[in-house]
Amino acid sequence: MKNLSLLVSALLLIFFTSCKQEKAVEKVPENVIGKHMLELESDIMTPEILWAFGRLSEVQISPDLQKILYGVSYYSVEEDKSNRELFLMDVNGENKKQITTTASGEYGAVWRPDGQRIGYMSAASGSMQLWEMDADGTNPRQVSDVEDGISGFLYAPDMSKVLFTKEVKIYKTVVDRNPDLHKTTAREMTDLMYRHWDSWVDSFSHIFVASYEKGSLGEAFDIMKDEPWDAPLKPFGGTEQISWTPDSKNIVYTSRKLEGKAYSKSTNSDLYSYNLESKQTTNLTEGMMGYDINPTFSPNGAYLAWESMERDGYESDKSRLFVLDLATGDKTYCTKDFDQNANGLSWSADSKSLYFISDWHATEEIYKLDVASGSIQKLTEGVHDYHSVVEAGNKLIATRVSMSKPQEIYSVDPSNGEATELSFENKHLLDQLTFGEVTKRWVMTTDQKQMLVWVILPPHFDENKTYPGLLYCQGGPQGTVSQFWSYRWNFQMMAANDYVIVAPNRRGLPGFGQEWLEQISGDYGGQNMKDYLSAIDNVKQEKWVDANRLGAVGASYGGFSVYWLAGNHEKRFKAFIAHDGMFNLEQQYLETEEMWFADWDLGGPFWDKSNKIAQRTYANSPHKFVQNWDTPIMVIHSELDYRIVASQGMSAFNAAVLRDIPAKYLYFPNENHWVLHPQNGVLWQRSFFEWLDKWLK
């Protein structure tokens, strides 16, 4: 349920322009989707403009520290698809150049260790394969020809080998066992975890190693053999969960080597080291019972750092920074006295320090750990979220977003935290738009604690006018309400429709210490709901908020929150929107797939009458307050959401109609826990504001 931010969405018309790119192209394929150099008719954001932003990702620094390689995804609403292109620029932001212009897109691009060529994945030949091009983007050539394609790759540091990941079928299907019934669509299950997030578990991601010589791959072998588990972890893990040792002799990878019910109830992933000479696999984190992920070796090969959670079954436990001394075998918990998460680890060139990203008081900043002393220094401060950081000489190259700006690349001075933008991917749109002011306030909760609340004002705000207000209910439930930029739950998009947005960092969110984060587990419908009401009750006192025109909106746990508030809001709100929310918690316990989440956060199964925490949870299920519903509600849900299945939304909608409550049900048969298709995304925005405007304006 965690609001993992990394995910795709959609855009506008389709035409390619080279106005801001330096590469000249004689002929561009008609179906290439490129940057939209739009001349806007208004300075107010619309859904179409939101989806026109280029989405920058996967920043890579060349081995000589002189160049930045990155990709940008562009979307077409008309074509209902996306395309991704690669760019180069100097580390000072100069000499920006687009180096690909294809209809197939380029993904996972990295510098070859010698810096002479760039490796990337492309489906130009049909399936996704490894390709290479010269360092200036010329002479593209297919390197691999793997059956059914690959999903990721990494060069060995000495360039003698390449590892790649691909799907492997382990279990026989119904058709395999009944070849004469080759048209049957049946599935048979004898254990849990038969589907996950948005797909059925039909195959597993494995790591293969192939020799690499003169730009060609040799025969590959599966280092995981016939093992029925994934590396990297699905559904969100990538090559960041795999690492070569600097001497190219070992591969360390992340995996949770459990099956069925055991897999569905555990978060215990470990780091495994595979030796290419002996073919032996060693568990490096045996006995460490939570998530252990994202291994990264120091440049000198002396240390291995990774992110670790302590408790099995708790997916939102503190993300700890651990370092393994490879010579002695000693493991050091480097952030023991640091009451914050540590993510996105990156070594300094001298192997003495680690940079990482951490959320504190609703912004994500860059920190630096001195490995020898254990001291931690905060390097940046501001109203923004950093997403990644890597050292490049005397500067840091980082990516950053805010509620008012999509992701861009910055150069950061580690001595003072000063940041200089380099990429300017979306400047042509941002310069034409007026965004609302983002303000911060601290609100007293019902238990006399201070809660940080973001308030986003409409563009061209007039304090002498009154505006309807929207309470934003966060998902996760432990997803951060920091300075994130979203392509669906976008606060500037909401503000552009003349709403005042109230986004509280209620109980259960990171960035305020573990006690604040963990209070929500086993207390659904409890203190965090009081926190929501404290926030909206505070802001509605402002003269520019119309207390009689308030709405509440949210997705996932935020959708649960909306359903719960619908039965307990004491007539504060005039409209609700719940997306992919939990409506019936007893139903949810038996419908979801990652049982570790249900066991930890709900407290356990509803049939355990001796479990007071679980019984309190189920007593607060939103469906038990439907008799109190009196406010129009819009329900949004998707068929491919296996985390919170579509019947939850359908049940809530049916209940509203049966109670004669004005209701609307927006259903997407081809979406999962998010809305990822361009036309669906624009429709989502239009429907969202049509509903709110109907009841609040």
**Backbone dihedral angles phi then psi of residue 526, each to the nearest 5 degrees:** -105, -125
Residue of 428, 569, 673, 677 with catalytic role: 673
Tokens representing 582 are: 């939990």
Query: In the chain, what percentage of residues exceed pLDDT 90?
Result: 94
Rounded Cα distance, 276 and 281, in Å: 9
**Is 579 labeled as catalytic in the residue annotation?**
no
Per the residue annotation, which of 580, 599, 601, 641 is the catalytic one?
Answer: 641
Whether 634 maps to a domain, the answer reads yes
My answer on whether 551 and 421 are in the same domain is no
Q: Among 407, 433, 459, which residue terminates a domain?
A: 433
Set 151, 556, 638, 651: catalytic member: 556
- Residue 214 confidence (pLDDT): 86
Q: For residues 229 and 51, what is the distance between their CA atoms, to the nearest angstrom?
A: 36
User: What mean pLDDT is reported for the chain?
Assistant: 94
- 358 plus 422 within the same structural domain: yes
Same domain flag for 415 and 516: no
Q: Are residues 449 and 496 in the same domain?
A: yes
- Total domains, the chain: 2
With beta carbons less than 8 A apart as the criterion, state whether 264 and 192 touch. Answer: yes
5 part of a folded domain:
no
Q: Cβ(182)–Cβ(194) under 8 Å?
A: no
Looking at the structure, tell me whether residues 417 and 384 fall in a common domain.
yes
Task: Among 433, 458, 478, give the residue marking a domain's end.
Answer: 433
Residue 177 CB contacts under 8 Å (≥ 6 apart), including other chains: none
Same domain, 541 and 650: yes
Whether 5 has a pLDDT exceeding 90, the answer reads no
Provide the domain limits for residue 563: 435-696
Q: What is the pLDDT of residues 390-416, one digit of tens each?
A: 999 999 999 999 999 999 999 999 999
Boundary (domain end) residue, out of 404, 433, 462: 433
The CATH number of the domain holding residue 674 is 3.40.50.1820
Do residues 487 and 361 both lie within one domain? no
Q: Phi/psi at 152 (nearest 5 deg)?
A: -175, 165
Residue at 416 is within a domain? yes
463, 544 Cβ separation under 8 angstroms? yes
The pLDDT score that the predictor gives to residue 33 is 80
Tell me if 78 is assigned to some domain.
Answer: no
pLDDT in tens, 271-330: 999 999 999 999 999 999 999 999 999 999 999 999 999 999 999 999 999 999 999 999
Retrieve residue 108's tokens.
Answer: 């996972």
CATH of the domain at 384: 2.40.128.660
Residues 461 and 582 in one domain: yes
Residues 403, 508, single domain; the answer is no
Is residue 365 situated within a structural domain? yes
Instruction: Let me know whether 397 and 503 are in one domain.
Output: no
Query: How long, in residues, is the chain?
Result: 697
- Residue 563 token pair: 């359903």
Please indicate whether residue 556 is annotated as part of the active site. yes
Question: In this structure, are strands 117-122 and 129-134 parallel, antiparallel, or unpaired?
Answer: antiparallel
Residue pair 364/482 in contact (Cβ under 8 Å)? The answer is yes
pLDDT band at 71 (very low <50, low <70, confident <90, very high): very high
List Cα–Cα distances, 549 to 478, 500, 611, 697, in angstroms: 28, 11, 41, 8
Residues 571 and 422 in one domain: no
pLDDT tens by residue, 602-624:
999 999 999 999 999 999 999 99
Q: 131 lies in a domain? A: no
497 in a structural domain: yes
Q: What tens digit of pLDDT does each residue of 546-573 get? A: 999 999 999 999 999 999 999 999 999 9
- Please report whether residue 617 resides in a domain: yes
User: Beta-carbon neighbour count of residue 413 at 10 Å?
Assistant: 14
Q: Are residues 426 and 440 in the same domain?
A: no
Q: Please report, for residues 64, 362, 467, the alpha-carbon distance to residue 399 in angstroms, rounded to integers and kept in the order given.
A: 20, 17, 34
